[in-house]
Structure 1
Amino acid sequence: MEKAHLFLLMGILLVLCGCVTSDMSELEREVEQILTRPGGRIAPIPAIEPYEAYTYQSGKEGARDPFQLFYEKVKLDLAEQDEDEGLTEAMEREIKYRNREELESYELDSLRMVGTLEDSDDLWGIIRDPDGTVHRVKVGNYLGRNIGKILNIYEDRIELREIIKNNDGRWEERPAAMALYEE
């Protein structure tokens, strides 16, 4: 501790030694030189353009209203479909009468499983969307545009079931999986 005090005292003495000189002539000359310089002209303030109000008009009949919630639009579009062939009652409830989740607006291939999170008895999946936002999902959540319901979450993959239309126009379920993405 005494060494620290000694070094501190020596530092203070060195700083004070630099303040000893009383010759201010160089400083006074510099100040006089600065004061004799002509002053500059300040530019006038630029004119402010008036704000022009803009009213949004889509220009297309039936175009999406940007102020309408997305899932309501999708729900309406799916409800208008008449091709219900092969659609079970449970599938119909999943497709038509359920609120959409955020990750359903992305293609399944564009989503990446980047990890898992365990909380007591629950295992959560960590998903990164194409925008770089990280989401936490659990069994029962939906991913992708094909109504992909999460069935199981494991350390290295997520298993889900998608509802799609096959080539005949019939609704069918198909299994899908998302593996852990390693960079």
Structure 2
Amino acid sequence: MSRLLERCPPVALHTLAAAALAVLALAGCGPSEDDGLRLWMDQTRAAKAPAPEPLPDVKPYTPREYAGRSSPEPFAQTKIGELNKSMTESPEAGRRREPLEDYPLENFKMLGMLKKNGETYGVVRVDNKIHHVKVGQYLGQSYGRVVRINDQEIVLRELVREGVSDWKEKMTSLKLEASA
């Protein structure tokens, strides 16, 4: 077979290749086997779609009469003024604030405890400054009063706002810093 190809002129080889390609291309043009699919599509197109269900009747809206005209006005300036006053009131209004109440309690680090003249002091660091605190002093921004000091923690009683004008006591502690 290879000798036959060697003897054929190049034009004949091109003609032979073109004929083979044409035969292969026409082989795909045989009868189609998707007649069933075409039949189903034709039947589906011919079938009538069911009619949509009618919409339900809409009941007309009748507005209600406002019966609260005799009630106090919820947006009256007197009510808003009372609310603003209760929001700014301190639970310990007569007491003068101490310097350590300017810092959030999260900024305090307990460094230790010491006793001097029979009184126990907690040693804390805040804003890169060391302070000595004793029972009765105030720390933090939530009216935290020191109630107990030991070698592991400083216990505080905080007053936390609950709702608009109610205050709730919450016990919090500063634990001794492990790396101190």
Taking structure 2 as the reference length, the TM-score comes to: 0.49
Taking structure 1 as the reference length, the TM-score comes to: 0.48
Q: Which has the larger radius of gyration?
A: 2
